[in-house]
Amino acid sequence: MAYKIVASQCTGCSACEPECPNEAIFEKSGIFYIKPEKCTECIGFFDEAQCVAVCPVDDTCVIDNSYPRYSA
């Protein structure tokens, strides 16, 4: 699984982008999105997903169940 950003929740504040250890977060038209193939759910880097920890709006960075669980 990877994390994804719920576009309707995203305020475009950019807080997540520099915190992602995989540089998996990009901006399109002021809204941010995660490239699932680059997301490691921060496993191997931090105890918690950085996008989730820093995002100021709850339920914006969520698990994308359509991708298989990441394994290091």
Partner 1 sequence: MSSPTTVQMHNPEHSGIVRLEDMLQQMAEHKGCGTSSEGGKASCGSSAGPADMSPETWEKVKNHPCYSEEAHHHYARMHVAVAPACNIQCNYCNRKYDCANESRPGVVSEKLTPEQAAKKVIAVASTIPQMTVLGIAGPGDPLANPEKTFKTFELISKTAPDIKLCLSTNGLTLPDHVDTIESFNVDHVTITINMVDPDVGAKIYPWIYFNNKRYKGREAAQILSERQLQGLEMLTSRGILTKINSVMIPGINDEHLLEVNRAVKSRGAFLHNIMPLISAPEHGTVFGLNGQRGPTAQELKALQDNCEEGQMNMMRHCRQCRADAVGLLGEDRSAEFTTESVMAMDVQYDLESRQAYQAVVEQERQAKADAKKAEMATLEGAESDIKILVAVATKGSGRVNEHFGHATEFQIYEASTSGAKFVGHRRVDLYCQGGYGEDEALENSVIKAINDCTAVFVAKIGGCPKAELEAAGIDAVDKYAFEYIDQSVIAYFREYLEKVRDGSVVYGKRGDAQIRQGAFVAA
User: Which residues in this chain contact partner 1 in the complex, by CB under 8 A?
Assistant: 9, 11-15, 18-19, 30, 46-48, 50, 52-54, 56-57
Q: Closer CB to partner 1, residue 22 or residue 67?
A: 22
Q: Which residues contact 20 (CB under 8 A, 6 or more apart)?
A: 34, 50, 51
Q: Closer CB to partner 1, residue 40 or residue 67?
A: 40
Q: Is the CB of residue 19 less than 8 Å from the CB of residue 54?
A: yes
Q: Closer CB to partner 1, residue 43 or residue 54?
A: 54
**What would the two tokens of residue 53 be?**
């920890």
